[in-house]
A and B are shown apart, each in its own frame.
Chain A
Amino acid sequence: MSRRARLVLFAVAAAALAAALGVGLAGLPSFGAQLSAYARMLNELAPRQRHVTDVVSAVSFDYRGIDTLFEEFILLSAVAGISALLRPLSDETRRLPEDKAPDRTIPPPSPAVWLLAVFLSSLLLLTGVETVTHGQLTPGGGFQGGVILASGLYVVYLGTNYATAERFEPNALLEASDGLGASGYAFIGLLGLLAGASFLSNVVNLGVTGDAVSSGTIQLLNVVVGIEVAGGFAILVSEFLDQTAVVRTRQR
């Protein structure tokens, strides 16, 4: 199809879509007017029923916990798919770039950059762990914290070089944490069945609202999700990094 024909087709389809969207959006309650009964009920009940202060976490990991289980599996399969797509192909090989000018040594990263990388990556690690473990108290949780943890790896790469970053990403450990995090979610769900309640019921001691350890399975699920997301995103980073740094077409 020519470019012009495609754009004409798009214009017609977009006009129809815009009309349908307009009708649909016009039927929504007016912006900022009032909340649904479900939302008001959850805001009222969740802190007392589940001993959380962050209701979003209670919704994600308890009231709608099964959604998050599938969301986690989607993430796991996406990471597995990317690992499969970006593996070295039959005509490719993994080779570290070689130095073509051995008489001129590459200067090491300046101490200031190195120091900044050490400082930033430890700060990211700390913030990540804090965000994961305080998911039930303050905004944050396993997904957000996991991404912060994984971004520590970027900083190590930026501040040093590929070989050093490689040492910081033990692949077996990352893959294990990705799988363990995902299966851990299902196992914590099974706790509910063991206790005689339904799958993913919050059967662990809820503790005192606002304590560092509270809200039962919500916090546990946040931790396993944090482990999974950190492992998964670190794998993503290293797969894309490998593509630019070491995966080369094999010489014939």
Chain B
Amino acid sequence: MSALAYGVVGWLFLIGIYGVVSSRNLIHLVVCLSVAQSATDILLLEIGYRAGGHAPVFVGLPAHPGPAVDAVMQALALTDVVIGAAVTALLLALVVQVHKRAGTLDPDRLRATRD
């Protein structure tokens, strides 16, 4: 079970980086970067998981049997998601301007900035 759980993290990260390296479109590249970044979310949640655990919310609803999972990792995953969204938006804004200046989204056809 461990091998599968942590294998997904390694695979997602590497496939995301592969997408960044081989991308022919800057928007695709930004999405690939989010894929690589989502590996960290999953890793954080997996580290904090406990078999049969429930969310670390202790309200008086119908009783949740068993232990709660790690709240610290969930808080870190939240931070990660927020920063990921901010970075993606910033990169997409850059892509918009690159397309205006260079007229292409293919990273291979971008030349060193003129004037």
Residues of A within 8 A of B (CB): 3, 6-7, 10, 14, 17-18, 21-22, 25-26, 28-36, 38-39, 42-43, 46-47, 53-56, 58-60, 64, 67-68, 71, 74-75, 78-79, 81-82, 85-86, 89, 137-139, 143, 210, 236, 239-240, 243
Interface residues of B in 1-55 (CB under 8 A from A): 1-2, 5-6, 9-10, 13-14, 17-18, 21-22, 46-51, 53, 55
> Once bound together, how far apart are the Cα atoms of A26 and B3, in whole Å?
8
Q: Choose from A31, A54, A79, A81 the contact partner of B57 (Cβ within 8 Å).
A: A54
Of B18, B49, B83, which one neighbours A74 at CB under 8 angstroms?
B83
Contact of A53 among B22, B59, B78 (CB under 8 A): B59
Contacts of B105 in A (CB 8 A): none
With a cutoff of 8 Å between Cβ atoms, the chain A residues found around residue B102 in the complex are none
> Which 7 A/B pairs are nearest by Cβ-Cβ distance?
A78-B86, A39-B70, A32-B51, A55-B71, A25-B6, A59-B75, A55-B56
Q: Which residues of B have CB within 8 Å of A46?
A: 71
Chain B residues with a Cβ under 8 A of chain A: 1-2, 5-6, 9-10, 13-14, 17-18, 21-22, 46-51, 53, 55-60, 67-75, 78-79, 82-83, 86-87, 89-90, 92-94, 96-97, 100, 108
Partner of B22, one of A7, A33, A47, A137: A7
Minimal Cβ-Cβ distance residue in A for B7:
A25
Can you list 9 residue pairs at the A/B interface with Cβ under 8 Å?
A7-B22, A31-B6, A32-B49, A36-B72, A56-B75, A75-B86, A82-B93, A139-B55, A236-B89
Closest residue of A by beta carbon distance from B68: A43
Residue among B22, B48, B78, B92 having the largest count of chain A Cβ atoms under 10 Å = B78
Which residues does chain A contribute within 8 Å of B58, judged by CB atoms? Answer: 43, 47, 53, 55
A20 to B, closest residue via Cβ? B10
Residue of A nearest to B48 (CB): A39
Q: Are A243 and B68 in contact (CB under 8 A)?
A: no
Within 8 Å by CB of B56, from A10, A54, A137, lies: A54
B18 touches A85 (CB 8 A): no
- Residue of B10, B49, B87 near A31 (CB, 8 A) is B49
Contact B21 A7 (CB under 8 A): yes
Contact A17 B14 (CB under 8 A): yes
Decide: B69 and A35 in contact? CB cutoff 8 A. Answer: yes
A86 / chain B contacts, CB cutoff of 8 Å: 93, 96-97
Q: Of all chain B residues, which has the CB nearest A26?
A: B6
With beta carbons under 8 angstroms apart, the residue of B5, B72, B90 that contacts A38 is B72
- When distances are taken between beta carbons in the complex, the residues of chain B under 8 Å from A35 are 48, 50, 67, 69-70
Q: Are A64 and B73 in contact (CB under 8 A)?
A: no
Q: Shortest CB–CB separation between residue B66 and chain A, in angstroms? A: 12
Does B21 contact A21, Cβ atoms closer than 8 Å?
Answer: no
Minimum distance in angstroms from B97 CB to a CB of chain A:
6
Min Cβ gap A119→B in Å is 27
**Distance of A74 from chain B, by nearest CB (Å):** 6
Task: Report the Cα distance A74→B87, complex, angstroms.
Answer: 9
The residue among B48, B96, B108 with the most chain A CB atoms within 10 A of its own CB is B96
User: Which residue in chain B gives the minimum CB-CB distance to A76?
Assistant: B86
Instruction: Determine if B75 and A60 form an interchain contact, defined as CB atoms under 8 angstroms apart.
Output: yes
- Verify A78–B48 contact, CB threshold 8 A: no
Known: A14-B14, A78-B89. A68 touches B79 (CB 8 A): yes
